[in-house]
Amino acid sequence: MARRKSGTATSHDVARAANVSQALVSRAFTGNGRIAPKTRERILKAAEAVGWQPNALARSMVTGDAPLVAVITTRLNFDWRAQVLSRLLKAIQEWHLKPLLFYAESDAEVDRLLDEALGWRARGVIVTAGVVRENRAAAIIDKGQFLVALNRPANHDKGFSVATDNPLGGRMAAKLFLEEGRQRLLVLGGPQGSWAPSLRAEGFSQAAHEAGRQVAVWNNDTMSTEAGRACAGRLLALPSAQQPDAVFATNDAMALGFLDGLRGHRSIPGDIALIGFDNLPAAEWAPYRLTTFEQPLEEMMRRLVAHVDGHSEEQPLQRNGAREQCPGLIRCKPKLITRMTAGKTECP
Amino acid sequence: MARRKSGTATSHDVARAANVSQALVSRAFTGNGRIAPKTRERILKAAEAVGWQPNALARSMVTGDAPLVAVITTRLNFDWRAQVLSRLLKAIQEWHLKPLLFYAESDAEVDRLLDEALGWRARGVIVTAGVVRENRAAAIIDKGQFLVALNRPANHDKGFSVATDNPLGGRMAAKLFLEEGRQRLLVLGGPQGSWAPSLRAEGFSQAAHEAGRQVAVWNNDTMSTEAGRACAGRLLALPSAQQPDAVFATNDAMALGFLDGLRGHRSIPGDIALIGFDNLPAAEWAPYRLTTFEQPLEEMMRRLVAHVDGHSEEQPLQRNGAREQCPGLIRCKPKLITRMTAGKTECP
DNA sequence: CTGAAAGCGCTTACAG
DNA sequence: CTGAAAGCGCTTACAG
């Protein structure tokens, strides 16, 4: 029944081999408590011979502190997700913590996974997929764990949420189009109810409305290159009087597909200006040269790290003093990367 | 010192709340041992009220079996890595195991991380980055853990290694070029000593040599689109008599950059035929239409899963009976995806 | 069906 | 400097 139990050495085996008490073996490895240097060395050698090292589970249990952080993630098929996870894993590594991953096949699973994560008594949880329900957030925080939500709300006033300033990105895109004198504006949006893409679209629409312009919004369930290509087809089928002359795609994948769909039919940015979001590697490739927004991943990670470090030092919340616009939500400015598809009308 | 210890409820708290013994609380959650249905329900309610669930660390300790699997990974900036990790996380999730990630900033760190992983007493370890040293492999397997290496050797006869059949891919590419009557062959290789890219290059060269053709190999330290573009520049600078008319890029990133670098200077596949490796999403985009190899990820995962399932059932090794070509290494055939850059010379 | 007790593999006061 | 002992939060025979 017990899988392996037999055969695995314990600190007692090492103690026997080094002819010391089991407690000394522990001290040799933790570095806590006095121990003669020579004894320590003898123990280390014995451990090596036996092939033993401390059982991290047992250590975590007895110290009441597991060096773990739970990370909720999902399919990595969108480039941006992989970038985020990669950067996150690196940060966690640098904390000398271990990421325990919870993979959500769909957003609906996220709540169950958060519950499961609680069982591991980790230092905290980082959510990069799905939605954090309010009572789940409370359960996590009440147990003294930190809660960080990336590009989504934490739904708790002691939770922490870092996001790209999506509305600002949308507004900047609109402003750029208006400065270029574009007339008919279109947004390639995400699924209904999605958080980040909706905020981008709303920021865009709002700025356009303030300038007296109307905006069409086409929602897309997948936000893939295929979806972008489909939108291009839809645009080409429109009566020419209704064809937009400026398009804001709420992610790069759609923008790239859109460009491919228009290739040979329209000139960019002559007929249609285009701005994307994410600054995927492909955005700068020769056939695209897409004007887009870079998400401030490094800044987001810095903020996240600062929050978690603050948490572990049990500092009082400094957030009130700092007067964030929206408590618990840190917005980091996206950076406009101007390439050929918009914003360069003054250059040849 | 102890971080949280205080405040966190235990099974005793639940027992008190439900007016039962602590042992019953355990039985209510594990499902092992007899317990009256009504008692169980009362306990579950009490636990919910207290906000408690079993401590997975303590459970793992006492059962001697932690439902963990260690995964060694690295930066996810290459698309293929992210795909692999994503698929892996899903498989592990389906086993009802939890992936504990070890992130190696460089290959040199991998050995240290493997050592660290041992401390968690996981069911096994899956290596997707760096090299598994022989004695490290032995240490893992001697402790009864499984060892799986993806696209690299496991370096132990009880380890398990699944890889794309890289030499075969190389040979197939060469064969296709030869059938097209290409004369001057070039390989865009990876770093010296890299495993998979070198095998691809070798397979290619070998097949070419057998047909009496010479092959030039240009190694690249990064295998990025930039490297591919640089190779294009280098090619264009060559005296025309020496210019290759067929290029095998050992990954798609280089192939795509190479295409961009040639754009406007050479016609593809007229002047130069090109084959890549990986079948990245971008390979099928309109400006590229790259002929390339799809790595058989699903088959690799199926094999991996079968091995690990076999391991947990303590089955005798079946490998000898099956007579694998190379013991412990399973090669899965890559699939040629024929698009526009090679292999379609008969079609307009 | 339920409870008291032993034990998982460690760490850490507490005595010597 | 070292060792014996308590205890971390559970699970699981073993008695009742």
Look at residue A78 in the predicted model and tell me its pLDDT. Answer: 75
pLDDT in tens, A162-171: 999 999 999 9
- 3-class DSSP assignment, residue B330: strand
Q: Is the dihedral of CA A106, A109, A110, A113 positive or negative?
A: negative
Q: Does residue A308 belong to any structural domain of this protein?
A: yes
Average pLDDT along chain A: 91
Q: How far apart are CA A246 and CA A345, in angstroms?
A: 13
B143 shares a domain with B210: no
A283 shares a domain with A302: no
Q: How far apart are CA A336 and CA A341, in angstroms?
A: 12
Q: CA of B54 vs C1' of C2, distance in Å?
A: 20
Residue closest to sugar C1' of C5 by CA: B23
Q: How far apart are CA B242 and CA B142, in angstroms?
A: 54
Q: Does residue B195 belong to any structural domain of this protein?
A: yes
Domain that holds residue A238: 166-295
Q: What CATH number is associated with residue B307?
A: 3.40.50.2300
Q: Does residue A18 belong to any structural domain of this protein?
A: yes
Nearest-CB residue to B98 (from A3, A100, A105): A100
pLDDT over threshold 60, residue B318: no
pLDDT over threshold 50, residue A315: no
Beta strands in B37-165 (DSSP E): 68-74, 98-104, 124-127, 146-150, 160-164
- Answer yes or no: are the C-beta atoms of B63 and A2 closer than 8 Å: yes
Q: CA of A7 vs C1' of D10, distance in Å?
A: 22
- The backbone torsions φ and ψ at residue B329, rounded to the nearest 5 degrees and listed phi first, read -115, 120
A239 shares a domain with A192: yes
Q: Which of B76-85, B145-154, B167-176, B304-313 has the highest mean pLDDT?
A: B167-176
pLDDT over threshold 80, residue B313: no
B28 shares a domain with B96: no
Q: Do B4 and A60 touch (CB under 8 A)?
A: no
- 3-class DSSP assignment, residue A332: strand
pLDDT in tens, B60-69: 999 999 999 9
A138 shares a domain with A203: no
- 3-class DSSP assignment, residue B331: strand
Which residue in chain B has the smallest CA separation from A138? B51
Q: What is the mean pLDDT of residues B21-46?
A: 94
* Neighbour-count burial for A167-197, b at 16+ CB within 10 Å, e otherwise: bbbbbbbbbbbbebebebbbbbbbeeebebb
CA atoms within 13 A on the CB side of B345: 18
pLDDT in tens, A65-121: 999 999 999 999 778 889 999 999 999 999 999 999 999 999 899 999 999 999 999
Q: Does residue A6 belong to any structural domain of this protein?
A: no
B126 shares a domain with B207: no
- Pick among A60, A69, A103, A313 to test the B interface (most B CBs inside 10 A): A103
B160 shares a domain with B122: yes
Average pLDDT along chain B: 91
Q: Is the dihedral of CA B116, B120, B125, B127 positive or negative?
A: negative
A189 shares a domain with A88: no
Which residues does chain B have within 8 Å of residue A90's beta carbon, measured at their own beta carbons? Answer: 75, 103, 105
pLDDT over threshold 90, residue A309: no
A46 touches strand D (CB under 7 A): no
Look at residue B201 in the predicted model and tell me its pLDDT. Answer: 98
H/E stretch holding B94 reads helix B79-94
pLDDT over threshold 60, residue A341: yes
Q: Token match 């970038």: residue? A: A83
Nearest-CA neighbor of B217 among B241, B249, B245, B239? Answer: B249
- Exposed, middle or buried, B302 (CB in 10 Å: 0-12/13-18/19+)? middle
Residue A309, both tokens: 């470090």
Residues in chain B: 348
Look at residue A329 in the predicted model and tell me its pLDDT. Answer: 87
Residue pairs between chains A and B whose CB atoms are closer than 8 Å:
168
pLDDT over threshold 60, residue B323: no
Q: Do A260 and B286 touch (CB under 8 A)?
A: yes
pLDDT over threshold 60, residue B170: yes
Residue A169, both tokens: 């990105």
Q: What is the mean pLDDT of residues A7-31?
A: 93
A82 shares a domain with A28: no
Residue B26, both tokens: 């355990």
Q: CA of B203 vs C1' of C9, distance in Å?
A: 51
B281 shares a domain with B138: no
Q: What CATH number is associated with residue A41?
A: 1.10.260.40
H/E stretch holding B6 reads none
- Answer yes or no: are the C-beta atoms of A215 and A186 closer than 8 Å: yes
Look at residue B310 in the predicted model and tell me its pLDDT. Answer: 82
Which residues does chain A have within 8 Å of residue B7's beta carbon, measured at their own beta carbons? Answer: 143-144
Look at residue B177 in the predicted model and tell me its pLDDT. Answer: 97
pLDDT over threshold 80, residue B317: no
Q: How far apart are CA B100 and CA B122, in angstroms?
A: 9
- Pick among B79, B83, B103 to test the A interface (most A CBs inside 10 A): B103
Share of chain B above pLDDT 70, in %: 92
Beta strands in chain B (DSSP E): 68-74, 98-104, 124-127, 146-150, 160-164, 185-188, 215-218, 246-249, 273-275, 292-294, 329-332, 335-337
Which residue in chain A has the smallest CA separation from B287? A287
From residues 12-41 of B, list those within 7 angstroms of strand C by Cβ.
20-24, 27, 33-37, 39
Q: For residue A203, give Cα distances in angstroms to A196, A215, A219.
A: 11, 11, 15
Neighbours of A267 (CB within 10 A): 9
**First and final C-alpha spacing in chain A:** 74
Q: Do A120 and B98 touch (CB under 8 A)?
A: yes
Q: What is the mean pLDDT of residues B46-56?
A: 95
Q: Does residue A59 belong to any structural domain of this protein?
A: no
Q: What is the mean pLDDT of residues A23-43?
A: 93
**First and final C-alpha spacing in chain B:** 74
Q: What is the mean pLDDT of residues B9-32?
A: 94
Residues in Cβ contact with B333 at an 8 Å cutoff, skipping those fewer than 6 apart: B164, B165, B168, B296
Q: For residue A195, give Cα distances in angstroms to A111, A138, A150, A319.
A: 17, 21, 11, 23
Look at residue A5 in the predicted model and tell me its pLDDT. Answer: 46
pLDDT in tens, B223-279: 999 999 999 999 999 999 999 999 999 999 999 999 999 999 999 999 999 999 999
A58 touches strand C (CB under 7 A): yes
Q: Do B143 and A4 touch (CB under 8 A)?
A: yes
A230 shares a domain with A261: yes
Q: Does residue B346 belong to any structural domain of this protein?
A: no
Q: Does residue A3 belong to any structural domain of this protein?
A: no
Look at residue B329 in the predicted model and tell me its pLDDT. Answer: 87
- D chain positions with any atom within 7 Å of a protein CB: 1-5, 7-14
Q: What is the mean pLDDT of residues A38-63?
A: 95
Which residue in chain B has the smallest CA separation from A280? B77
Q: Does residue B338 belong to any structural domain of this protein?
A: no
pLDDT over threshold 60, residue A323: no
Would you tell me which residues 78-137 of chain B have a C-beta closer than 8 angstroms to some C-beta of chain A? Answer: 79, 81-83, 85-86, 89-90, 92-93, 98-103, 105, 115, 118-121, 123
Residue B88, both tokens: 């892996």
Q: Do A57 and B55 touch (CB under 8 A)?
A: no
Q: How far apart are CA B164 and CA B295, in angstroms?
A: 6
Q: Token match 């594990």: residue? A: B30
- The total number of structural domains in chain B stands at 3
Q: How far apart are CA A198 and CA A203, in angstroms?
A: 9
Nearest-CB residue to B61 (from A61, A64, A282): A61
A205 shares a domain with A101: no
